[in-house]
Amino acid sequence: MAEESLLEIRGLELRAGEEVLVDGVDLDLPRGGSLGLLGQSGSGKTLTALAVLGLLPPGVRRVAGTIRFDGVELSALDEAGLRPFRGGRIALVFQEAMSAFNPVLKLGRQVAEVLELHRRQIDRRGRPPEVLRLFEEVGLKEPERVARSYPHELSGGMLQRCLIAMALAGEPELLIADEPTTALDVTVQARILELVAEIRRRRGLSLLWISHDLGVVARVCGRVAVMRGGRVLEQGEVEQVLRQPAHPYTRELMAAAPRLERSG
């Protein structure tokens, strides 16, 4: 094996009752690498990501397959065993930043809670400066003001940055991002994508990025896996897949991807 896999999924099968939602998915994410999980709603991309942390919605269960993270078989762990991974070594960022936060707690306090849980070496007095440092790292201009704010007081783009700061608070090795920029304006989205790329370079973070948007995946990911109907249709280097899509569905997605038609 040339590269060590940080995340390795083999033969993952998820069902709700008799319905097969994810069907024999194999994925590899090398340490420090970035993988885009590309598909439309209902393709199974989000469920695959949630399965990594054992966060499947009620009624959905894993009937087959293994998930290994840094040599540990996550799929064999119970709730207590998964705790150090959730929000710690593996962080999750969602589309709706607003619903990820507690609406009645100040943002600084919420990020401090992650430190309390996953960074025991930082004592009570060390937490506030670390929170401010994290807010600065994600490009928030007035970290003190942000720390004192409630979620509803910030714009969508700022809140998404706070969510990334909260994800980084646990010093994760893997960041799982589920359509985190879909609800944002294009210019805000472009800045968040730049931020994520920069953080990855700086921290050597591995990235699993879930999206329906091929353009976004091409901007942040080195590799891409195309999903439909619970299966991976093809996976490979983004450039390779874009140059020579092996599956007709990938070609269809490429044809529908954003383009700007210009005259002349």
Q: Does 258 bind other proteins (CB under 8 A)?
A: yes
Q: Does 244 bind other proteins (CB under 8 A)?
A: no
Task: Name the region of 201 (left: φ>0; alpha: ψ -120 to 50; beta: rest).
Answer: alpha
The nearer residue to other proteins, 82 or 190, going by C-beta atoms, is 190
With CB under 8 A as the rule, give the number of residues binding other proteins.
31
- Rounded to a whole number, what is the distance in angstroms from the first to the last CA of the chain? 49
Q: Strands 5-16 and 60-69: what pairing?
A: antiparallel
The nearer residue to other proteins, 18 or 261, going by C-beta atoms, is 261
Longest dimension (CA), the chain: 62
Which of 90, 174, 216, 232 touches other proteins by CB under 8 A?
A: 216
Q: 133 to 162, contacts with other proteins by CB under 8 A? A: 155-156
Q: 217 to 236, contacts with other proteins by CB under 8 A? A: 218-219
Residue 5: name the closest of 158, 235, 174 by CA: 174
Per-residue binding letters, 192-211, with other proteins (x by CB under 8 A) = -x------------------
Which of 56, 72, 242, 246 touches other proteins by CB under 8 A?
A: 242
Q: Does 213 bind other proteins (CB under 8 A)?
A: yes
Angle, CA 205 vertex, CA 199 and CA 208 arms, to 5°: 105
Please choose, out of 12-20, 110-118, 133-141, 189-197, the segment that lies near other proteins by the rule CB under 8 A. 189-197
Which of 57, 58, 103, 264 touches other proteins by CB under 8 A?
A: 264
Q: Name the residues that contact other proteins, by CB under 8 A.
A: 40-41, 155-156, 185-190, 193, 212-216, 218-219, 242, 252-254, 256-264
